[in-house]
Amino acid sequence: MQTSAQSIMVNLEGRLGSFMLDVAFQAPMRGITALFGPSGCGKTTILRSVAGLRHIPGAIAIGTDVWQNSRSFRPPHERPVGYVFQEPSLFPHLSVRRNLVYGRDRAAGSSGAIRFDDVVDLLGLSHLVDRDPAHLSGGERQRVSIGRALLSQPRLLLMDEPLSALDRMAKDEILPYFEALHANLSIPVLLVTHDIAEVERLADHLVVLKDGRVVHASPLNEALTDPNLPFGRSRDFAAVLAGTVTRVDPDGLAAIDVFGTEILAIGDGLDVNQTVRVRIVASDVSLARDRATQSSILNLVPARIVGIDPMGAAEANVRLSLATDGSAHFVARVSRRSVASLDLRADDRVVAQIKSVSLAATR
């Protein structure tokens, strides 16, 4: 696997006790790449190897910067990574401010492109800086850990299930901060998770792992709608597409450009030109041969059938593409009887009637 200025390259093959890790993937130098898979598939081992905390034979490069290959191995302290663990690890005897600054001091001599005030602002920490970590909620502690990792001026942020120790409410509270980081910082992130909701909300790129191997690696939309992966089989399966707000109308609806198609959604709090994630639940999409002239459904979208996958005896996933180049996939979950009665086939042009869309995340 070649190194490239535009990607993070990981190519590892080795044993850890009885566990065999054999992975090769590239991740973009921007945005969040989720390492996704069941417990024990090797996600943490990959993250620790990237940080240099484990030495599995193989190669790791961040852009053209080689951190490890068959001839060299950079020790952990020479790898500029910020590491955020499942459980926030703050110094209990230091205030939040000093915990944050600890990261900055360790990065002394670096260019300091990530500023203290910006991190405090982005993570909503200004009212907490003089507190002791003992007087923070779990979500607040995790925000401070992220701030400290960022102020160490990393080239890469490694996050190992940073939300898994939080309850649902704390997760919901912290997710917007992740989204703000995503929008405002250009540091690439490798995020370990086994929560598909986190993947939908945060990831740009997905590396799916199983038993120490890479099963799939691609941009998020492609991975979620790949019929060879299990995502599409879940009852509440949703595709996620990136879009840009083009208009917010006085009646509260926003127009979103998704690969050249206009999708309307509730526009609360949206601004023109903002990038959004449009989440389309498969069971909210029905199909018609022609555009209905009278319908309460706002999004009647021309699409092309890419493939039809039976889902049990009664249903099918009809994979659809919005874009003329065949990309931008989403799925309609319909009955097999409807597939037969409309005589739906791959390559057919149809009208997708999208009953509702939600904006999974804004950035």
Ligand X SMILES: Nc1ncnc2c1ncn2[C@@H]1O[C@H](COP(=O)(O)OP(=O)(O)OP(=O)(O)O)[C@@H](O)[C@H]1O
Binding site for ligand X (CB under 6 A): 16-17, 19, 37, 39-45, 194
Question: Least separation, in Å, of the C-beta of 40 and ligand X?
Answer: 4
Residue facing ligand X at closest CB distance: 17
DSSP 8-state assignment for residue 232: G
Return the SS3 of 25: strand
Judged by beta carbon, residue 36 or residue 116, the one nearer ligand X is 36
Nearer to ligand X, 33 or 353 (CB): 33
CB of 34 to ligand X, least distance (A): 12
Closer residue to ligand X (CB): 42 or 232: 42
Q: What angle do CA 26, 58, 41 make, to 5 degrees?
A: 65
Question: Which one, of 220, 258, 227, 225, lies nearest residue 359 by Cα?
Answer: 258
Smallest separation (angstroms) from ligand X to the CB of 133: 24
CA distance 176 to 362: 8
- Nearest approach, Cβ of residue 63 and ligand X (Å): 25
Q: 142-159 burial, b for 16+ CB within 10 Å, e for fewer?
A: bbbbbbbbbbbbbbbbbb
Residue labelled with tokens 């926030």: 88
At its nearest, how many Å lie between ligand X and the CB of residue 60? 15
Closer CB to ligand X, residue 23 or residue 156?
23
CB of 164 to ligand X, least distance (A): 9
Q: How far is the CB of 6 from ligand X (least distance, A)?
A: 27
Please say which residue, 16 or 180, places its beta carbon nearer to ligand X.
16
Angle (deg, nearest 10), helices 138-151 and 168-184: 20
Q: Which residues, including other chains, have CB under 8 Å from residue 136's CB and lie 6 or more apart? A: 96, 128, 144
> Which CB sits closer to ligand X, 88 or 267?
88
Chain position carrying tokens 């598909």: 196
Nearest residue to 45 (alpha-carbon basis) of 35, 31, 33? 35
Return the number of the residue (26 or 44) whose C-beta is nearest ligand X.
44
Q: Dump the DSSP string for 97-157.
A: HHHHHHHHHHTTTS---S-HHHHHHHTT-GGGTTS-GGGS-HHHHHHHHHHHHHHT--SEE
